[in-house]
Amino acid sequence: MSLAIVGVNHKTAPIQVRERIAISRDQLPDVTRALAAWPGVTECIIVSTCNRVEFLAALDSPDIDLPSFLYNHFAIDPASLQPHLYQRFDHDAVRHLFRVAASLDSMVVGEPQILGQVKEAYAVARANGAVAGQLEHLLQSAFSAAKRVRTETSIGSNSVSIASVAVELARKIFGSLQGRTIFLVGAGKMSELAARHLVQQGAGSILVANRTIERARRMAEPFDGRVIPFEDLYGVASQADIVISSTGAPHPIFRREHGQAFMHRRRNRPMFFIDIAVPRDVDPEMNRLDGIFVYDIDDLQQVAAAHMAERSREASDAEALIEGEVERFRQRQRAVNVAPAIVALQRKAEEMRQGELRRLHARLASLSPEQSEALDALTRGLVNKFLHPPMKALKQAARENDSLRLDALCDVWSLPAVADPESGAEDAHEQADRAILEAEKAGDTSRAKEQAGKP
pLDDT tens for 255-270 read 999 999 999 999 989 9
Reported as a pLDDT band with limits 50, 70 and 90, residue 168 is confident
Catalytic member of 50, 165, 335, 391: 50
The residue ranking higher by pLDDT, 435 or 254, is: 254
Most confident region among 77-91, 292-306, 437-451 by mean pLDDT: 77-91
**50 catalytic per annotation:** yes
CB 274 within 8 A of CB 170: yes
**How many other β-carbons are positioned within 10 Å of the β-carbon of residue 232?**
10
Distance CA 249, CA 226 (A): 22
Say if residue 178 is exposed, middle or buried (CB neighbours under 10 Å; 0-12, 13-18, 19+): exposed
Q: Which residues contact 237 (CB under 8 A, 6 or more apart)?
A: 183, 185, 243, 254, 258, 262
Q: Which of 233-242, 389-398, 401-410 has the lowest mean pLDDT?
A: 401-410
**∠298-54-64 over CA atoms, to 5°?**
140
Q: Which of 222-231, 247-256, 331-340, 365-374 has the lowest mean pLDDT?
A: 331-340
The whole-number pLDDT of residue 443 equals: 45
Q: Which of 83-87, 155-159, 275-279, 287-291 has the lowest mean pLDDT?
A: 155-159
Asked whether the predicted pLDDT for residue 338 surpasses 50, the reply is yes
Reported as a pLDDT band with limits 50, 70 and 90, residue 447 is very low
The whole-number pLDDT of residue 13 equals: 93
Q: What is the mean pLDDT of residues 87-112?
A: 89
Share of the chain above pLDDT 70, in %: 84
8-state DSSP, 204: -
Asked whether the predicted pLDDT for residue 451 surpasses 50, the reply is no
Q: Which domains does the chain have, with CATH numbers?
A: 2-159 (3.30.460.30), 162-307 (3.40.50.720), 322-452 (no CATH)
Q: Which residues contact 37 (CB under 8 A, 6 or more apart)?
A: none
Asked whether the predicted pLDDT for residue 48 surpasses 60, the reply is yes
**How many other β-carbons are positioned within 10 Å of the β-carbon of residue 336?**
23
The residue ranking higher by pLDDT, 151 or 47, is: 47
Measure CA 60 to chain center: 21
The whole-number pLDDT of residue 126 equals: 94
pLDDT tens for 416-445 read 766 543 333 444 445 555 555 554 454 444
Distance CA 102, CA 147 (A): 8
Q: Which residues contact 146 (CB under 8 A, 6 or more apart)?
A: 98, 101, 102, 103, 115
CB 98 within 8 A of CB 325: yes
The residue ranking higher by pLDDT, 157 or 390, is: 390
The secondary structure element, H or E, covering residue 272 is: strand 271-275
Grouping H, G, I as helix, E, B as strand and the rest as coil, residue 96 is helix
The whole-number pLDDT of residue 159 equals: 55
pLDDT tens for 342-372 read 888 888 888 888 888 888 888 888 888 898 8
Q: What is the mean pLDDT of residues 11-40?
A: 93
Asked whether the predicted pLDDT for residue 150 surpasses 80, the reply is yes
The whole-number pLDDT of residue 426 equals: 43
Q: Which of 73-87, 130-144, 402-416 has the lowest mean pLDDT?
A: 402-416
Q: In the predicted model, what is the mean pLDDT of the chain?
A: 83
Distance CA 101, CA 124 (A): 16
Q: Which of 94, 93, 253, 92 is CA-nearest to residue 183? A: 253
What pTM was computed for the model? Answer: 0.67
Reported as a pLDDT band with limits 50, 70 and 90, residue 409 is confident
Q: What is the mean pLDDT of residues 186-203?
A: 80
Q: Which residues contact 13 (CB under 8 A, 6 or more apart)?
A: 84
The whole-number pLDDT of residue 336 equals: 65
Taking the alpha carbons at both ends of the chain, their separation in whole angstroms is 50
Distance CA 364, CA 358 (A): 9
Asked whether the predicted pLDDT for residue 157 surpasses 90, the reply is no
Asked whether the predicted pLDDT for residue 319 surpasses 60, the reply is yes
